[in-house]
């Protein structure tokens, strides 16, 4: 039996699926796997725990072949991907688990393949971070964004959350206009002062992207500052699409949304759809054909054929 394990690793959770041929036989979910924030050791352990759980459930034996295709946040650089791959192989050897084929790729790549299996298309991702990938008829991959939270991630949960926090800080200091964000933020975090806010956001487990729900709530209440942030950040994602049109030398594109910010219906995703309709009428938005973890399975099948 030849088993294929697909991994969809993100900043908040990791999804694992194992398939026998074309049939998915088991799925499980574990902790985050963005090694840019967690580090290689913790990330590889989180991923391997899921791999090991999956092979135990299907009663994998030594004579079975095993291919693992991992799509995870932060794996866009070959050296980083190799480090993660080596670390997982080391964990597998310690458990006497033979992995015949192992590939580490980006979470965006598997999401793209899941949305448009064996056909051209683009994926625009906004979750904790943001990136856009496209592939043409020759399966050539194009990228826009994906530079990370320090110099990129426009239109992402992190960028939205940071701008919301900044707006609140400016109001507290009387450097900026009044905004409902501040009141909602203090209520959500159960705080009442600037010092408490500073202390709260610098806790190791504080997730800036989680503040997007407060921003969206304030925008729903017609808060001027919140609506301005949404307008600016959706504009950034429009620029991603325009750049992709240039890179792929296309006049029309099929696009699918991925990531918690865009996949879920909210004021931000609705505003982006409206902007695309008004500014980029040649862009068609499609629902992904498969969840991202299945993109990893599909790419795992291709990996076997290439061997």
Cβ-proximal residues to 118 (8 Å cutoff; 6+ apart), any chain: 298
Mark whether 153 and 267 lie in a shared domain. yes
Q: Looking at the structure, tell me whether residues 159 and 270 fall in a common domain.
A: yes
Please tell me whether residues 242 and 210 are part of one structural domain: yes
Give the bridge partners for 257, in sequence order.
124
Q: What's the domain range around 297?
A: 2-113+291-306
Question: Could you give the strand order of the β-sheet that contains 141-145, starting from the edge strand earlier in sequence?
Answer: 141-145, 130-135, 121-126, 253-258, 283-286
User: Residue 37: its pLDDT value, please?
Assistant: 75
Same domain, 94 and 155: no
Show pLDDT as tens, one digit a residue, over the chain (307 residues).
899 999 998 777 899 999 997 788 899 999 888 777 778 888 899 999 999 999 999 888 777 899 999 998 777 677 888 899 999 999 999 999 999 999 999 889 999 999 999 899 999 999 888 999 999 999 999 999 988 888 989 999 999 999 999 999 999 999 999 999 999 999 999 999 999 999 999 998 898 999 999 999 999 999 999 999 999 999 999 999 999 999 999 989 999 999 889 988 999 999 999 999 999 999 999 999 999 999 999 999 998 887 6
Together in a domain, 92 and 158: no
**Are the C-beta atoms of residues 173 and 292 closer than 8 Å to each other?**
no
Question: What's the confidence (pLDDT) of residue 304?
Answer: 85
**CA separation for the pair 172, 168 (Å, rounded):** 6
pLDDT of residue 106: 87
| Whether 123 and 207 share a structural domain | yes
pLDDT value, residue 271: 97
Q: 93 and 147 in one domain?
A: no
The pLDDT of residue 13 is 84
- Output the pLDDT for position 240: 97
Q: Are residues 81 and 156 in the same domain?
A: no
Q: Tell me what pLDDT residue 23 has.
A: 83
CATH number at 47 reads: 3.30.420.40
Predicted local confidence at residue 307, as pLDDT: 67
Residues 301 and 238 in one domain: no
CA 2 from chain centre, in angstroms, equals 28
- Say what the pLDDT of residue 239 is: 97
pLDDT at 233: 97
**Cβ atoms 75, 84 nearer than 8 A:** yes
Q: Which pLDDT score is estimated for 121?
A: 96
Residue 229 has what pLDDT?
Answer: 97
Beta-carbon contacts of 132 under 8 Å, excluding residues fewer than 6 positions away, are 108, 122, 123, 124, 125, 143, 144, 145, 146, 240, 241, 243, 244
Predicted structure pTM score: 0.85
As a whole number of angstroms, the distance between CA 174 and CA 162 comes to: 18
What DSSP element (H or E) covers 180?
A: helix 180-189
- Considering the domain architecture, whether residues 84 and 70 belong to the same structural domain is answered as yes
List strand residue ranges (DSSP E) for 154-249, in order.
none
235 burial class (0-12, 13-18, 19+ CB within 10 angstroms)? middle
Q: Do 152 and 281 fall within a single domain?
A: yes
Per-residue confidence (pLDDT) for residue 133, from 0 to 100: 96
Question: How many other C-beta atoms lie within 10 A of the C-beta of residue 138?
Answer: 6
Q: How many CB atoms lie within 10 A of CB 140?
A: 10
Give the total number of structural domains in the chain.
Answer: 2
Please name the residues in contact with 242: beta carbons below 8 A apart, sequence gap of 6 or more.
280
| Residue 73 sits in the same domain as residue 183 | no
């Amino acid at each position: 039996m030849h088993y294929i394990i697909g991994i969809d690793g993100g900043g908040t959770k990791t999804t694992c699926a194992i398939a026998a041929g074309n049939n998915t036989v088991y799925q499980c979910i574990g902790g985050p796997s963005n090694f840019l924030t967690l580090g290689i050791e913790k990330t590889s352990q989180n991923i391997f725990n899921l791999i090991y759980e999956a092979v135990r459930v299907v009663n994998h034996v030594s004579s079975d072949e095993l291919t693992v295709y991992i799509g995870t946040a932060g794996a866009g650089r070959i050296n980083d991907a190799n480090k993660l791959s080596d670390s997982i192989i080391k964990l597998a050897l310690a458990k006497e688990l033979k992995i015949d084929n192992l590939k580490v790729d980006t979470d965006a790549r598997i999401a793209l393949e899941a949305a448009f299996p064996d056909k051209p298309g683009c994926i625009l991702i906004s979750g904790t971070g943001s990136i856009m990938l496209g592939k043409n008829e020759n399966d050539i991959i194009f990228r826009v964004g994906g530079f990370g939270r320090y110099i990129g991630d426009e239109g992402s949960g992190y960028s939205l959350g940071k701008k919301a926090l900044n707006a609140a800080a400016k109001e507290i200091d009387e450097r900026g206009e009044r905004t409902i964000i501040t009141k909602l933020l203090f209520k959500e975090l159960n705080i009442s002062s600037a010092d408490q806010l500073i202390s709260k956001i610098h806790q190791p487990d504080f997730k800036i992207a989680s503040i997007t729900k407060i921003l969206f709530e304030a925008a729903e209440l017609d808060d001027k500052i919140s609506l301005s942030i949404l307008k600016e950040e959706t504009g950034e994602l429009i620029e991603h699409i325009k750049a992709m049109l240039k890179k792929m030398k296309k006049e029309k594109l099929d696009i699918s949304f991925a990531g918690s910010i865009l996949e879920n219906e909210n004021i931000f995703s609705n505003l982006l759809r409206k902007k695309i309709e008004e500014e980029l009428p040649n862009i068609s938005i499609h629902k992904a054909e498969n969840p991202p973890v299945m993109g990893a399975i599909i790419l795992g099948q291709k990996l076997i054929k290439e061997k």
